[in-house]
Amino acid sequence: MDSTKLGAGSKAKLQTHVGLSSYPKQVYEHSLKTGFKFNMMVVGESGLGKATLINSLFDTKIFAENEDSNIVIPSKNVDINTMSTELLDSGVKLRLNVIESAGFGDNINNEDCWKPVVENIESRFDSYLTQENKMPKSKIVDNRVHALIYFIKPTGHSLRAIDINFMKKVHSKVNLIPVVAKADMLTQDDIAGFKQRIMADIQMHGINIFKPTWDSSDSSDMVIETKELVSKIPFAVVGSDSFMVDANGIKRRVRVYPWGIVEVENSAHNDFISFRNMLVKSNMEELKFLTDVSLYEAYRTQKLLSMGHVQDNSVFREFNPSVLYEEERRLQEIKMQKMEAEMNAVFMQKIQEKESKLKQSEEELYARHKDMKLSLEKQRNELEERKKKMETVARPITPMEKKTKKGLFNLS
């Protein structure tokens, strides 16, 4: 569903200065150490100029000419394709991943075309969550989507159902940045009215879009700059892969028409410069920060809560192998305890049986002993009785009687 390939300019030196080195000192120094890394998603119907705008933004051919990004396995009619490139801006490195949806809104029934996009955003959150449980933050590869650029068709009317439906599905998961595509197709007046109606629709449907903010610690210049950026939302942009060298020998990115020339990097012609300033220069770190502490955190909390309520073990296992291991260990422990208790019960029963048998035979022995004792006692008493009797019947002659006898018959 999601394939990654290196863009045509996989290691490109930027021709123009896009602004990475103009970051605030702290952010710049931190990013110099870790390297700038930014993951952006571009979504919109075919032919709205997504590839051309990305090439124009980073002043390189991330997408090759006529690249139609259809090299991936089709999935639910919308393919997700990642282009990875490393850019050099005044010696500063930027690892840029552009995730592009091909085939979005190109079908007769586009009701579900948001699904593959949301699934992709969520699977990136899941991957981050899995890493978070396994390794220290410094080692985590952050593939979360930091910004989603949604291309609005330049109809000049208002948002279409497909736009509203899509934005409602993604706005809580990603920093949503809607842009009016191919703004050179509309007049300046058309654009002003179109922008107003878009913002009214966004507000009415409770859609959250990314807007730069300011506070009291910001310099007055910065506040003016930010307010101006906000007033231009949604940015009406023009992109081009064509160049023209002007009278002063300066190479300009342009769209050429019979009636004149539209310059991409000319703020009088379109909002490209403001859009690029916000995305690459003034708010890239804020977009990453918000992704981390707000959008990802909300997703993480919701996921953990839902796991707790539903007890969906398949999600549980997929999501955290160490928790799975812990749970299996606990189940094994319970099984062992049960087996041990059963063995103890059998053992105790055997002992009881043996003890009661011993007791029984002891009692039998005692009874026999008692019987024997009684019978011996009886026999002894009987003998005693008989002896007495015998003694009375056969009494021996006394010596006195003997003498008398001898005196009468003195025959000797």
Ligand X SMILES: Nc1nc2c(ncn2[C@@H]2O[C@H](COP(=O)(O)OP(=O)(O)OP(=O)(O)O)[C@@H](O)[C@H]2O)c(=O)[nH]1
Site string for ligand X, 286-325 (x = CB under 6 A): ----------------------------------------
Site string for ligand X, 29-48 (x = CB under 6 A): -----------------xxx
Contact call for residues 264 and 240 (beta carbons, < 8 A) = yes
Is the Cβ of residue 45 or residue 89 nearer to Mg ion in the bound state?
45
Angle at the Cα of 155 from the Cα atoms of 187 and 117, rounded to 5 degrees: 130
- 102 is an interface residue for ligand X by CB under 6 A: yes
Residue, CB closest to ligand X: 49
| Alpha-carbon distances, residue 227 vs 195, 331, 350 (angstroms) | 16, 59, 87
The residue whose two tokens read 């009291």 is 216
Closest CA to 5 of 52, 70, 76: 70
Is the Cβ of residue 256 or residue 323 nearer to ligand X in the bound state?
256
CB of 68 to Mg ion, least distance (A): 6
CB of 335 to ligand X, least distance (A): 56
Rounded Cα distance between 41 and 121, Å, is 9
Spell out the SS3 assignment of 381-403.
HHHHHHHHHHHHHCCCCCHHHHH
CB of 51 to Mg ion, least distance (A): 4
Residue, CB closest to Mg ion: 51
What is the total count of residues that contact ligand X (CB under 6 A)? 16
CB of 91 to ligand X, least distance (A): 29
Angle at the Cα of 244 from the Cα atoms of 243 and 248, rounded to 5 degrees: 135
131 interacts with, out of ligand X, Mg ion, none, CB within 5 to 8 A per kind: none
Residue 262 neighbours by CB distance under 10 Å: 17
- 129 is an interface residue for ligand X by CB under 6 A: no
Residues whose CB is less than 8 angstroms from the CB of residue 63 and which lie 6 or more positions away in sequence, other chains included: 7, 8, 51, 52, 54, 55, 69, 83, 98, 100
Rounded Cα distance between 108 and 269, Å, is 35
CB of 332 to Mg ion, least distance (A): 52
Is the Cβ of residue 55 or residue 277 nearer to Mg ion in the bound state?
55
Rounded to a whole number of angstroms, the CA Rg of the chain reads 49
Q: In the range 145-204, which residues lie near ligand X by CB under 6 A?
A: 182, 184-185
| Alpha-carbon distances, residue 107 vs 59, 103, 180, 354 (angstroms) | 32, 8, 21, 82
Rounded Cα distance between 209 and 180, Å, is 14
Is the Cβ of residue 61 or residue 317 nearer to ligand X in the bound state?
61
Is the Cβ of residue 71 or residue 310 nearer to Mg ion in the bound state?
71
Is the Cβ of residue 19 or residue 239 nearer to ligand X in the bound state?
239
52 interacts with, out of Mg ion, ligand X, none, CB within 5 to 8 A per kind: ligand X
* Position 91, amino acid: G
CB of 232 to Mg ion, least distance (A): 24
Residues lying near Mg ion in the complex (CB under 5 A) are found at 50-51, 69
Q: In the range 220-279, which residues lie near ligand X by CB under 6 A?
A: 238-239, 255
Is the Cβ of residue 47 or residue 156 nearer to Mg ion in the bound state?
47
Rounded Cα distance between 121 and 137, Å, is 20
CB of 260 to ligand X, least distance (A): 13
Q: Which of 9, 31, 36, 52 touches ligand X (CB under 6 A)? A: 52
Is the Cβ of residue 173 or residue 182 nearer to ligand X in the bound state?
182
Contact call for residues 37 and 142 (beta carbons, < 8 A) = yes
Interacting residue ranges for ligand X, rule: CB under 6 A: 46-52, 68-69, 102, 182, 184-185, 238-239, 255
